[in-house]
């Protein structure tokens, strides 16, 4: 049996999109529900400021750190896995 890599890629992207779309709107809402209004309105504002700052800081840091880690630590790991596991001569091992 042959598994096309593009099919796995699209399946992976679809699952990432589904998971990300399901959790992102809920996280901030769950955090905001922890505060009693109007007594904790200032803490609620602080929470959302820190929350969105953390999300954006993590995104910015990962943009710069991921390529460095990929080059230094995992330069051949992913490519070697794909070539070995999905090469036509090793397809019998997957079944």
Asked if residues 85 and 8 have their Cβ atoms less than 8 Å apart, the reply is no
- Which of the two residues, 20 and 30, has the higher pLDDT score? 30
| pLDDT per residue as tens digits for the range 31-55 | 889 999 999 999 999 999 999 999 8
Identify the three-state secondary structure at position 39.
Answer: coil
Measuring CA to CA, which residue among 59, 81, 93 is closest to residue 8?
A: 81
Query: Exposure string (b/e) for 16-48, b if CB count within 10 Å is 16 or more?
Result: eeeeeeeeeeeeeeeeeeebeeeeeeeebeebe
Instruction: Indicate the length of the chain as a whole number.
Output: 95
> How far is residue 73 CA from its own chain's centroid?
19
* Predicted TM-score (pTM) of this structure: 0.54
Give the H or E element holding residue 30. helix 5-32
> What confidence category does residue 91 fall into, taking pLDDT thresholds of 50, 70 and 90?
low
């Amino acid at each position: 049996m042959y598994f096309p890599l593009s099919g796995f890629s699209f399946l992976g992207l679809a699952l990432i999109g589904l998971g990300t779309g399901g959790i992102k709107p809920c996280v901030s809402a769950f955090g905001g529900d922890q505060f009693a209004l109007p007594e904790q309105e200032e803490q609620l504002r602080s929470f959302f400021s820190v929350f969105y700052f953390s999300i954006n800081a993590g995104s910015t840091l990962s943009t710069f750190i991921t390529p460095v880690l990929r080059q230094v630590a995992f330069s051949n790991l992913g490519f070697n896995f794909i070539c070995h596991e999905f090469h036509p001569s090793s397809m019998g091992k997957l079944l």
